[in-house]
A and B are shown apart, each in its own frame.
Chain A
Amino acid sequence: MAHSSLIGRAVAARSQAFLLVLLAIAVLVPVMNLAVPAGSFFHIPSYGVSLFGKYVCYALLALSIDLIWGYCGILSLGHGAFFALGGYAMGMHLMREIGPRGVYGDPILPDFMVFLNWKELPWFWHGFDFFPFALLMIVAVPGVLAFVFGWFAFRSRVTGVYLSIITQALTFALMLAFFRNEMGFGGNNGLTDFKDILGFDLQHDTTRCGLFVASILALGLGYSICRFVVRSKAGKVLVAIRDAESRTRFLGYRVEGYKLFVFVLSAMLAGVAGALYTPQVGIINPSEFSPANSIEVVVWVAVGGRGTLIGAVLGAIIVNGAKTLFTGWFPEIWLFALGALFVGVTLFMPKGVMGLLRGDGGGGAKIKLLLEKLGAARTGRMLR
């Protein structure tokens, strides 16, 4: 008892530290951007602010995947869909907010509808000019889709790789659908050319800092929610489902309900991440739905350390930071580095960066693990 409370306290300390770090960043970055003079070593250019803002959104997305994959064993290869839907909901609001300032000066229709001869706004675009409605949709659309999808899938006991593949089918189908110009979401170009959000100019540094702080807060909130869930009793059931679904079911738990709950929650978090992402990068388009993007998110989680919430955040930031640096430093060969990173992490750091930090996933452990594997192969205890 004393032992477990000790661990509990250690975990609590870590998550408090994490939240503190977030808070510090939320204060420091805007100060270093807005108040520190441009020449100073401590100045962060606007470029850095929107870049970090993007990473933070990715981190929230990674967090949402980690919640279902790390704690419940549901590997979604289609989480990019929820992220993109949230992004589109926000994008639609931003498009409506342009109002008559589009190139054609049409007070209602977005530019892409004007030059493709749309005569009136499609029904599903109504209401998005009202920010609270858009906010609602940001969580509701991914949430409802996840609920419907999950309700069918979990009830039919579609599990493991089958579930992964059909989530991939889901996002692929949505990508193709959103590519179609008839859908009224701007086709391949998606939604772009946003002017402002809630009246604040999106090209202004203070707005950027505001969005950055909002993203950090969302990440902190998302982290707290996830932490609350995984540390609650339900969280223990989730882990039980991850480790032995049938047994959990036989013990009398309604596995489907738990899975559905966590899946919907995760989709909503992804939607929020997408909504914060759109104004910061200035564009949302169907390539966000592409299966490759969703797989990449899973890779971030794996790099950071599956099953540790902080790990997911770290993974997203490390991989994307590496990507930013590599594409600038070695534009010709950066994919080698990225590919090698993925292979290396799965082989040598099965617990990711967090495992490394904790000291149980390093070199020695790796050799031990390989020996175990080989031993397992010889004695035929390998799992399928």
Chain B
Amino acid sequence: MKSMKLMGAAIAGLVGYTGVMGTSLAQDTIKVGVLHSLSGTMAISETTLKDAMLMLIEEQNKKGGILGKQLEAVVVDPASDWPLFAEKARELIEVSKVDVVFGCWTSVSRKSVLPVFEELNSLLFYPVQYEGEESQRNVFYTGAAPNQQAIPAVDYLAEVEGVERWVLAGTDYVYPRTTNKILETYLKDSGVAEEDIMINYTPFGHSDWQTIVADIKAFGSAGKKTAVVSTINGDANVPFYKELANQGIAASDIPVVAFSVGEEELAGIDTGPLVGHLAAWNYFMSVDTPENAEFIKAWHAFIGDEGRVTNDPMEAHYIGFNMWVKAVEKAGTTAPDAVIDSIVGVAVPNLTGGYSAMMPNHHITKPVLIGEIQDDGQFATVFETPGLVVGDAWSDYLPDSKDLISDWRAPMSCGNFNTASGTCGGMQGQ
């Protein structure tokens, strides 16, 4: 008797539960999924991107939406929990029936959702600079690949500042590891000796930098101009820079060029002692163009706070979103296959005064900007590549990836075509 009741309750619960999960509305809007962590460790960076997406969607709706339909944002919180990213991605696509997803920040979250997008054939726009070594049919990488950030920065330091000795300091995860591998090969190829390169890794959220900063200081006292190439991840940067400043390392002694420090990260630090340290991005808030001024104005109006900054991943979303809009209009539908076909070659204005185009390898063209930190928490651009740099999915400086290319147009339609063997590698080969 009791057992029957229990069983009945369980099954009723099960059916009811899927019923709840499956509440999909009639398709009178185009749904845009936003998959950014709003809690947990990554909320600090990703919440801003969620707001940026909501703003872009709102603005597009004011312009009349797309294909005569209004856009509807579906926001979920994957809570900085990587398996949850996969679950939420599936929920967005299967249950909420979104047509496109903008989201993810960390590499691991992207890796976690990749199979989902592949299986359910949906679209993901990924807005953050990353380690490369990936090109997937359903993913569009609007952030920088290593050749759009790291290599120009190193070139700049070597040429302009005459740096001969390099500290590659990073947080111990895949982006710094890969970037440093690429840089190590690149530096050695350009004649830097083994003993002039120091590589150091620290855990996430590392807060005690005394020893490492002292080591850097010692490494820098070999009589050659030394620079630090920092791939230190978000949270650990504040204590790192504080320690640098306090131990008296100024940018004129040992400059630090960072790939993960943007306006948002600097908002938490008094940048007075950091003036002159560098960062390489594809966008700075300080860039003086009408598009950027308008974007910043819209952002301040949307968020209701004049003090909020804009940053590179926000620009990446801006570019990615506009590319998607244009591709949908071109294809006349939001169907993923049609959009994947139509988006290659689409060019939209970026915020730095030029156009960015979607390349066949699903990476985009961008200018590379190198900026020095100013005392107001902004960057002053001290170098800009003369032309646009094409994002390279497979690095030329890693032995196993230098033969790989990616082209998602027919007839090749392959993310990892091996030019040496003339075959498309194992993944997503069909």
Which of B6-14, B289-297, B305-313 touches A?
B6-14
Does A46 touch B at the CB level, under 8 Å?
yes
Pairwise interchain contact A117-B79, C-beta atoms closer than 8 A = no
Which of A21-29, A142-150, A241-249, A258-266 touches B?
A21-29
Pairwise interchain contact A193-B133, C-beta atoms closer than 8 A = no
Pairwise interchain contact B18-A179, C-beta atoms closer than 8 A = no
How many B residues, CB 8 Å from partner? 68
Pairwise interchain contact B11-A28, C-beta atoms closer than 8 A = yes
Does A321 touch B at the CB level, under 8 Å?
yes
Pairwise interchain contact B172-A103, C-beta atoms closer than 8 A = no
A45-B22, A116-B178 given; A188·B173 CB < 8 A = yes
Bound together, the chains give a CA A273 to CA B65 distance in angstroms of: 46
Name the residue among B18, B88, B427 with the largest chain A CB count within 10 angstroms. B18
Pairwise interchain contact B174-A188, C-beta atoms closer than 8 A = yes
Selected from B4, B174, B427, the residue in CB contact (under 8 A) with A112 is B174
Does A14 touch B at the CB level, under 8 Å?
yes
- Pair count A-B, CB < 8 A: 187
Pairwise interchain contact B426-A100, C-beta atoms closer than 8 A = yes
Which of A122-130, A209-217, A232-240, A328-336 touches B?
A328-336
Pairwise interchain contact A334-B77, C-beta atoms closer than 8 A = yes
Bound together, the chains give a CA A277 to CA B76 distance in angstroms of: 22
Bound together, the chains give a CA A187 to CA B178 distance in angstroms of: 12
Bound together, the chains give a CA A106 to CA B81 distance in angstroms of: 30
Question: Which B residues from 122 to 141 make CB contacts under 8 A with A?
Answer: 133-134
CB distance from B73 to the nearest CB of A (A): 11
Selected from B82, B88, B95, the residue in CB contact (under 8 A) with A283 is B82
User: Nearest residue in B to A324 (C-beta to C-beta)?
Assistant: B87
Pairwise interchain contact B172-A281, C-beta atoms closer than 8 A = no
Residues of B within 8 A of A116 (CB): 177-178, 181
Bound together, the chains give a CA A341 to CA B10 distance in angstroms of: 22
Q: Is the interface of B mostly helix, strand, loop or mixed?
A: helix
Residues of A within 8 A of B83 (CB): 54, 281-283
Question: Which A residues from 302 to 344 make CB contacts under 8 A with B?
Answer: 321, 324-325, 327-328, 331-332, 334-335
Does B57 touch A at the CB level, under 8 Å?
no
CB distance from A209 to the nearest CB of B (A): 14
Does B159 touch A at the CB level, under 8 Å?
no
CB distance from A132 to the nearest CB of B (A): 25
Residues of B within 8 A of A112 (CB): 174
Does B399 touch A at the CB level, under 8 Å?
yes
Question: Which B residues from 67 to 84 make CB contacts under 8 A with A?
Answer: 75-79, 81-84
Selected from A13, A46, A54, A325, the residue in CB contact (under 8 A) with B94 is A46
Pairwise interchain contact A102-B426, C-beta atoms closer than 8 A = yes
Residues of B within 8 A of A21 (CB): 6-7, 10-11
Question: Which A residues from 33 to 78 make CB contacts under 8 A with B?
Answer: 41-48, 50-52, 54
Residues of A within 8 A of B15 (CB): 41-42
Bound together, the chains give a CA A25 to CA B7 distance in angstroms of: 9
Contacts A/B (CB < 8 Å), 7 sampled: A17-B3, A42-B15, A47-B91, A101-B429, A105-B426, A179-B203, A331-B75
The 4 closest A-B pairs by CB, nearest first: A17-B3, A101-B426, A188-B173, A331-B77
Known: A285-B108, A327-B77. 14 other contacts (CB 8 A): A16-B3, A17-B2, A17-B3, A25-B10, A45-B94, A99-B426, A104-B401, A104-B404, A105-B418, A116-B181, A180-B201, A181-B172, A281-B83, A283-B111
